[in-house]
Copies of this chain bind each other. A is one copy, B any other.
Amino acid sequence: MASGKTPSSKTPSSPRRITLNHVAERAGVSRSAASFVMSGRTDQRLSAEVFARVRAAAEELGYKPNLTAKTLRTGRSGTVALVSDFVSTTSFASTMVRGALEELCERDSLLFTVDTHGREELESRLLDSLLARNIDGVLYASMFTRSVTVPPVLKDTPVVLLNCLSDDGGGISVIPDEASAGEDAARLLLEAGHVQDIWFVGSMPPGQVGGTIWPPWAPLALSERREGIDRALKNAGTSLAGSVVVEDDWDIANGRAAVAGLLASGVRPRALICVNDAVAIGAGHALRAAGLRIPDDVSLVSFDGTPLAQAGEPALTTIALPHLEMGRRAASLLFDTDRTPRRIRVPMPVVPGGSIAGPRTGP
C-alpha cells in the first residue's frame, strides 16, 4: 500500500508515468481487460468485479491515458485544425475561433490554429504537418467572405469552409447571410421613414464592378449586401439615390474621403448605408465636418458589428457578422456524418444604435 491516499503522493518506485500496464498489474488483470474497462466497452463481457477493480486501480494510481498511443492505434486524434489566412488581421477572427472552441470542447476535441498568411507554400507545409499528426478535420477559414481553392491534399479529410466558398462549388460552407443583412439595413431606414436620398457608401471602383477580377477582399459581402439592399428598396417602390466608391481599403480614412467627396459635389444625402463600420465612422467625420448632425440630418447604418460601432456619438446601428455562431456551426458540421455539399447561411443580427432617425421634414 502506498503511504498516502492523495494522488500526488505516488510511490517512489513509479518509473515515469502511469500506463495501462501499471493499472492492469495493480488490478490483477490483463492489459486487454484494463483497456476494455477504461474505454468502457460493454460488448466485451467483463465481470462487474473486474470493472470495479480496474476503475479503482486507475483511480489510485492517477492513471491518465496516453492519447498519442491511442491516436497511433486508432488513426483518430481528437484534434481539429483551423487553417486560415488571418488570425490576427481582423479583430473578430478570434470570435470565430471562440465559437469553434466552444463546440469542440463539448466533443472533447482540441483545436490547432494555423495562419497561412495567404502563402501557398506555407499552407502546404502546415497542412502536411497537421495531416502527419492525424487531425480529424479542418476548418478552412478566410478573413473575408470569398471564394477559395481547397488544397487537394485535404481530399481524404473532413473539411468545413468557414466564411468562404469552394471555387469548385462543392464542400460544406458556413457564411453570413449577407443578403438578408442588406435587406435589414434598408428596412431599418424605410421603417424610419426614409424613401429617397439614400446612398450606398462602399462600391468598387468603376473598372472592377462588372469585371471578373474582384479584389481579394470581400467581394461576396459587397455584392450580396447590395443585392439585399436593392431588393428591399425595390419592394418598397424606391431605390438608392446613388452609390459612392471607396478606394482601396474599407477603412476610416477612405470612408471619410469618399463621403467628403460626395458632399463636395453638392449632394445632400438623407441616409447612408455604409459597407462596414469603419467606413461609417469615416463617413460620420465627413458629415460632422460639413456641419451635418447624425442622425438628425443624416441617418447612418452599416455592417460588421465591430467595437468601432460603439465609438461614435451616437453609436452606429450596424448589422453584425455572426462570427461566434459561424465558428460554432462550422465546428459542429465537422462532426456531421452527412458530407453532402451545402451552404449554411447564418443570420446577421441587428445591433441597435442611435444613428438612425426619420428624415427631416424641412429642406
Binding site for B on A (CB under 8 A): 8, 64-69, 71-72, 77-79, 82, 87-88, 91-95, 97-98, 101, 105, 108, 110-115, 122, 126, 128-134, 152, 252, 281, 285, 288-289, 306-308, 310-313, 324
Candidate in A65, A78, A93 with the most chain B CB atoms within 10 angstroms: A93
Complex CA distance for A108 and B110, rounded to whole angstroms: 19
- Considering the complex of A and B, which 9 residue pairs feature the smallest CB-CB distances, nearest first? A91-B91, A88-B98, A311-B311, A94-B94, A67-B132, A113-B113, A88-B94, A88-B95, A285-B313
Chain B residue at smallest Cβ distance from A309: B311
Residues of B within 8 A of A97 (CB): 87-88, 94, 113
- Given that A71-B68, A88-B95, A98-B88 are known contacts, is A129 also in contact with B113, CB under 8 Å in the complex? no
This protein's copies in its complex = 2
Bound form: Cα–Cα A88–B325 in Å: 13
A129 to B8: give the CA distance in the assembly, Å. Answer: 18
Contact A66 B132 (CB under 8 A): yes
Please measure, in the bound complex, the distance between the C-alpha atom of A111 and the C-alpha atom of B115, giving whole angstroms: 10
How many Å from the CB of A267 to the closest CB on chain B? 21
A132 touches B252 (CB 8 A): no
Give complex CA distance A267, B353 in Å. 31
Query: Shortest beta-carbon distance, A227 to chain B, in Å?
Result: 28
State the CA gap A131–B112 with chains docked (Å). 15
